[in-house]
Amino acid sequence: MTAFARQDQALAALKARGRYRSLVPREGCDFSSNDYLGLAGSEELRQAAAAALARGVPVGAGGSRLLRGNDAEHERLEAEAAQFFGTEAALFMGGGFNANLAIFSTLPQHGDLVLYDALIHASTHDGMRQGRAETRSFAHNDVADCTRAIAEWKAAGGKGQVWIAVEALYSMDGDIAPLAALSELALRENAVLVVDEAHSTGLFGPGGRGLAHDIASAPHVLSLHTCGKGLGVSGALICGQKVLIETLVNKARTFIFATAPSPLNAALVRASLSLLAGEPDCRARAWDNIRHAWREADRLFGLQGCQSQIIPVVIGCDKRTMRIAESLRQSGFDIRGVRPPTVPRGTARLRISITANVTPEQVTAAFTEVARQLLEEPV
């Protein structure tokens, strides 16, 4: 028996169940990335990078923000992001995962309750595990169930702060949270609404400011905008009341003990925000593709009710899902299969992502091939 026999056995079990994961190089038409506006490889950001390097912006931070890693580019980005998203303050983090770890391990306190949507990001779960508050889930996008959960907690003696954690746009289902109703609930219950805008920033809201923009400035709202999806770079911006941002700076371990994000990266996020603010048509190509994809999904395989750029085609069987995804890749369409535990058991799916990196003709070709595979691939 080798020293890692248990790991070998665990990997073999994953393969037998059709859940083994491996890295696949990017190739073919992009129907899987989160580069919704096509900014990641854009000439605009290449020029912004060259200009930032030319004016002496460092590539590396050299330390944590609280040591010597705090660069002027970080501070400029945070000031501009707070203004752009309409909040008192903002904090730049290395990524959305670390940002959610920071929020949920730091802000809710002992005696508080975190109520989270049943389909919330994995990073939120990890943050809650490290935190001290009680946690409970509520049914996906169900405001009535969230209301019931708060009432039950209070009836049982709960007296702390309630934190309601949701995604504005859900990354695997592509549906949109009822933010207005959740905000009203949070106001009634003196709760804090934490909105993860990861998949809506750049595409939704005025100027790409997100689905929660109308409520983002309210004292009871904290929002998270990741920079590696619609904005085309990397990192994350936590936006909200100054007291919450200062608490994270002073107490969040994933901020205090992490090397600061690259100042060059901060400069590129600033450039992305400037593009959104100054070029209202930069989202038009993506939205043309998205609306075309909705029509083709309905026409070719009867999928109706799409709400966003994320179009899930639920297949159910893990192995069949991955066989179809591989066939699509060999046909020149980079469409990835997603299996449990990323999605609930029995809901393995093709997660089709519509971006500005393709043409309407490529959308039609991809969806035609998906329809063919669904008919021909044995169950």
Active site residue 196: yes
Which residue of the set 74, 199, 225, 292 is catalytic? 199
From residue 162, give the alpha-carbon distance in Å to each of 97, 107, 183, 223.
Answer: 22, 11, 13, 16
CA trace torsion 281, 285, 287, 292 (10° rounding) = 150
Active site residue 35: no
User: 44-278 belongs to which CATH class?
Assistant: alpha beta
Residue 179 CA neighbour count, 13 Å, CB half: 26
| Closest by Cα among 344, 341, 347 to 314 | 347
Which residue of the set 196, 197, 296, 318 is catalytic? 196
Which residue of the set 74, 225, 229, 292 is catalytic? 229
Task: List the chain pLDDT tens, one digit each, 379 residues.
Answer: 578 999 999 999 998 888 888 888 888 999 999 999 999 999 999 999 999 999 999 999 999 999 999 999 999 999 999 999 999 999 999 999 999 999 999 999 999 999 999 999 999 999 999 999 999 999 999 999 999 999 999 999 999 999 999 999 999 999 999 999 999 999 999 999 999 999 999 999 999 999 999 999 999 999 999 999 999 999 999 999 999 999 999 999 999 999 999 999 999 999 999 999 887 778 999 999 999 999 999 999 999 999 999 999 999 999 999 999 999 999 999 999 999 999 999 999 999 999 999 999 999 999 999 999 998 877 6
Question: Which stretches of the chain are DSSP H helices?
Answer: 5-16, 43-54, 72-85, 96-106, 122-130, 143-155, 179-188, 242-251, 253-256, 263-278, 284-301, 318-330, 360-376
**Per-residue tokens: 18:** 């059709």
The domain 21-36+309-376 having CATH identifier 3.90.1150.10: the answer here is yes
Which residue of the set 167, 197, 334, 369 is catalytic? 167
Domain positions in the chain are 21-36+309-376, 44-278
pLDDT for res 281: 76
Let me know if the fold of 21-36+309-376 is the same as that of 44-278.
no
Contact indicator for 287, 203 with CB cutoff of 8 Å: yes
Which residue of the set 34, 98, 200, 289 is catalytic? 34
Give dist(CA 321, CA 348) in Å, integer: 6
Active site residue 125: no
| Closest by Cα among 218, 212, 213, 266 to 244 | 218
Which residue of the set 42, 100, 141, 171 is catalytic? 171
DSSP classification of residue 24: -
